[in-house]
Amino acid sequence: MRAIRVLSAALLTLGLAAAPAAADSSPSPSASADGKAPTQAGTSFRTAAEMDQGRTATASASTGDYLYWSFPADTGQRPTVKATVKLPGTHAAQTWQLDVYDGLRRHQSCQYGAATRTAEQGTATVELACVLRTVRAWSEPWANDPLPGTYYIRLTVLNLGSADLGLPVRAEVRADSKNIGGAAAVDGSLGKPLVPGIAVKSDAEKDGSKSAVLSAIEPDDGWSSHWWSSRWVWTAVGGVLAALAGIGGYALTRGRGRPAYVPPGA
Q: Which residues make beta-bridge pairs with 79? A: 177
pLDDT at 208: 55
pLDDT at 215: 57
Query: What radius of gyration do the chain's Cα atoms show?
Result: 28
C-beta separation of 57 from 161 below 8 A: no
What's the average pLDDT block by block, 10 residues per block, for the chain (266 residues)? 44 43 38 66 94 95 95 92 94 94 93 94 95 88 88 94 91 93 62 70 50 60 60 70 82 67 65
Find the angle CA(144)-CA(108)-CA(199) to the nearest 5 degrees.
65
Number of Cβ within a 10 Å radius of residue 164: 19
C-beta separation of 160 from 94 below 8 A: yes
C-beta separation of 215 from 197 below 8 A: yes
pLDDT at 8: 46
| Rounded Cα gap, residues 144 and 127, in angstroms | 27
Q: Which residues make beta-bridge pairs with 58? A: 172
- Using DSSP, state whether 98 is helix, strand or coil: strand
Return the half-sphere exposure (C-beta side, CA atoms, 13 A cut-off) of residue 210. Answer: 0
pLDDT at 181: 66
pTM: 0.69
- Comparing CA positions, the residue from 161, 165, 155 lying closest to residue 97 is 155
Burial class (CB within 10 angstroms; exposed 0-12, middle 13-18, buried 19+) of 32: exposed
pLDDT at 176: 96
Amino acid 165 reads L
Find the angle CA(41)-CA(47)-CA(50) to the nearest 5 degrees.
60
> What is the CATH topology of the domain spanning 28-180?
Jelly Rolls (2.60.120)
pLDDT at 85: 97
Beta strands 77-86 and 125-131: pairing type?
antiparallel
Contacts of residue 52, Cβ cutoff 8 Å, sequence gap at least 6: 30, 31, 32, 35, 37, 71, 72, 217, 220
